[in-house]
Amino acid sequence: MNYSAYSIHKLREGLKKKDFPSEDIVKDCLDRIKISKLNAFITICETEAIKKAKEADKKIKDGVDLPLLGIPISAKDIYLTRNIRTTAASRVLNRYIPQYSATVIERLEKAGAIIIGKTNCDAWAHGSSGENSDYGPTENPYLKGYVPGGSSSGSAVSVAANMCLVSMGTDTGGSIRLPASFCNVVGLKPTYGRVSRYGVISMASSLDSIGHFTKNVDDSALVLSITAGKDKNDATTPEIEVDNYKNYLTKDIKEVKIGLPREYFSDGLDKRVKEKIENEVKILEAKGARIEQISLPNTEYGITCYYIVQPAEVSSNLARYDGLRYGNDRAHFGNEAKRRIMLGSYVLSSGYYDAYYKKAMQVRTLIKKDFDEAFKKVDVIIAPVSPTLPWKIGEKTQDPLSMYLSDIYTVNVNLAGIPGLSVPIGLIEGLPVGLQILGPHFSEGKLFQVGKAIERPKI
Ligand code: GLN
């Protein structure tokens, strides 16, 4: 039986009624991982996962009720997992075994989740396609030979190909939303600071967001209610109370004001994707939402700004991998990491700092202000995730600039620190397409509310 095609809610119901044990679910997922040729995992935790499933079954028998008890999950291989190898998909860390787990991993395990493995991704989360992994590219489960989107490539695939119910990813410039859109799953990038970054290998610390992939919006809301909130180990998590996300799932969208930013629907956007989004917007309007054209005038500076701020932080964060403290020496860095270290060191060096880094930080403020202004007029914004459909493996690897441009609609969200939810809206020529819903800081509940109005019922 294909248990993992279900939602968390359905599986938890079945587990509680003793229709099937967690052990069957976990074994079903492990089988699927083993026979798959998609290369979604770097490490599989077979023995440990089966052991945990048996423990979960015993707890269920004893009447223990936890939101994720017995549910298999995976995590991008940049989440520290105690006693489980964590590579960041780089040869630098090919033998690194962490001493402790990331806060979110601890929270999910406390809620009963079972980690079945660590997923493949672009090394250090640098990329948009999954092809920068030192462990080989991951394939799109929908069409052979196509990219699944990155950098959280294996995470999106693991959920899309029914290898687990939830996968934790990271989004620094689009790395959850893009693969979610390319793989037909729901991907949440929460507000910066809503979820603790403690124990997640840093890419660019002022942009990194800790989020997840699920099969549907309900599951996404449930997972956020477990991962979100203050963590004393991460000073960027504020005291702000975590919303009751469940309450938003049953609200209709009458009178919800939805903005469509002109700059996101211009010539660069694939016409077929545009049409599909416009179609969804019509459906939302019919359901009572109010649609408004808006403008985010500094949109076009996003990629330039991001490719100064992000490498600057990358160059600083990767400095600790010197071969003395962790893993192998710097000669093991791949080309993309080297490119970013050099770019970052350059924009931070004296004489260039003011011209590049400082200027980029000023532009970042303008980009954030665009969103602040927009959210005075509308509740949420709807936009495409990617200007194109998934591309063929190898198509953009020789042209970093065209790869960078695939994030044109996602990076500004990270620069502004706001949340974004990517929701599937169907297939075009066999390849999935999603749209993103954006909201003000800490408005994840609203995103789930609108996301529910868009998603088609699955199982
Ligand atoms: N594709 C973007 C980059 O390569 C975003 C990566 C991410 O979000 N981790 O920088």
Quick: pLDDT tens for 135-156: 999 999 999 999 999 999 999 9
Mutate which of 205, 310, 401 for ligand 1? The one with the most ligand atoms within 8 Å of its CB, which is 310
Q: With bands split at pLDDT 50, 70 and 90, how would you rate the model's confidence at 459?
A: very low
User: How much is the average pLDDT of 407-436?
Assistant: 97
Report the C-alpha gap between 276 and 352 in whole angstroms: 43
Question: Does 459 reside within a domain?
Answer: no
> How much is the pLDDT for 43?
98
> How much is the pLDDT for 401?
84
Is 386 a known active-site residue? no
Mutate which of 121, 122, 197, 343 for ligand 1? The one with the most ligand atoms within 8 Å of its CB, which is 122
Report the C-alpha gap between 273 and 431 in whole angstroms: 11
State percent of the chain over pLDDT 70.
99
Using DSSP's 3-state secondary structure scheme, residue 428 falls into strand
Question: Does 239 reside within a domain?
Answer: yes
Using DSSP's 3-state secondary structure scheme, residue 390 falls into coil
Question: How far apart are the CA of 24 and the centre of ligand 1, in A?
Answer: 36
User: How much is the average pLDDT of 264-277?
Assistant: 94
Identify the active-site residue in 74, 128, 151, 443.
151
Quick: pLDDT tens for 350-370: 999 999 999 999 999 999 999
Residue whose CA lies nearest to ligand 1 atom number 10: 126
Q: Which atom of ligand 1 is nearest to the CA of 204?
A: 9
Is 175 a known active-site residue? yes
Question: How far apart are the CA of 434 and the centre of ligand 1, in A?
Answer: 18
Question: Does 411 reside within a domain?
Answer: yes
Question: Does 99 reside within a domain?
Answer: yes
Q: Which atom of ligand 1 is nearest to the CA of 174?
A: 8
Domain count, the chain: 1
Residue whose CA lies nearest to ligand 1 atom number 4: 127
**Protein residues whose CB sits closer than 6 Å to any atom of ligand 1:** 125-128, 151, 170-175, 203, 310, 407
Report the C-alpha gap between 457 and 459 in whole angstroms: 7
Report the relative pairing of strands 209-214 and 114-119 from DSSP bridges: unpaired
Residue-averaged pLDDT of the chain: 96
> How much is the pLDDT for 235?
98
Q: Residue-wise over 16-45: b if at least 16 C-beta within 10 A, else e?
A: eeeebbbbbbbbbbbebbeebebbbbbbbb
Report the C-alpha gap between 431 and 363 in whole angstroms: 35
Q: With bands split at pLDDT 50, 70 and 90, how would you rate the model's confidence at 273?
A: very high
User: How much is the average pLDDT of 32-57?
Assistant: 98
Question: Does 420 reside within a domain?
Answer: yes
Q: With bands split at pLDDT 50, 70 and 90, how would you rate the model's confidence at 413?
A: very high
pLDDT of 84 > 80? The answer is yes
Quick: pLDDT tens for 162-201: 999 999 999 999 999 999 999 999 999 999 999 999 999 9
Using DSSP's 3-state secondary structure scheme, residue 408 falls into coil
> How much is the pLDDT for 381?
98
- Give the range of the structural domain holding residue 122, as residue numbers without chain letter: 3-454
Report the C-alpha gap between 120 and 115 in whole angstroms: 14
Q: With bands split at pLDDT 50, 70 and 90, how would you rate the model's confidence at 447?
A: very high
> How much is the pLDDT for 456?
82
Mutate which of 177, 202, 203 for ligand 1? The one with the most ligand atoms within 8 Å of its CB, which is 203
Q: With bands split at pLDDT 50, 70 and 90, how would you rate the model's confidence at 117?
A: very high
Residue 178: which CATH number?
3.90.1300.10
Is 151 a known active-site residue? yes
pLDDT of 405 > 90? The answer is no
Q: Residue-wise over 207-232: b if at least 16 C-beta within 10 A, else e?
A: bbbbbbbbbbbbbbbbbbbbbbbebe
Question: How far apart are the CA of 70 and the centre of ligand 1, in A?
Answer: 32
Q: Which atom of ligand 1 is nearest to the CA of 414?
A: 8
Q: Is the dihedral of CA 395, 398, 402, 405 positive or negative?
A: positive
Question: How far apart are the CA of 305 and the centre of ligand 1, in A?
Answer: 13
Q: Which atom of ligand 1 is nearest to the CA of 175?
A: 8
Asked if 155 contacts 121 with a C-beta cutoff of 8 angstroms, the reply is yes
**From its phi and psi, is residue 18 left (phi > 0), alpha (psi between -120 and 50) or beta?**
left
Identify the active-site residue in 7, 22, 153, 175.
175
Paired tokens of 172: 């620094």
Q: With bands split at pLDDT 50, 70 and 90, how would you rate the model's confidence at 458?
A: low
Which helix (H) or strand (E) is 8 found in, with range? helix 8-16
In residues, how long is the chain?
459
pTM check: above 0.95: yes
DSSP code per residue over 317-360: HGGG-SSSSSSS-GGG--HHHHHHHHHHHHHHSTTTIIIIIIHH
Question: Does 446 reside within a domain?
Answer: yes
User: How much is the average pLDDT of 243-252?
Assistant: 97
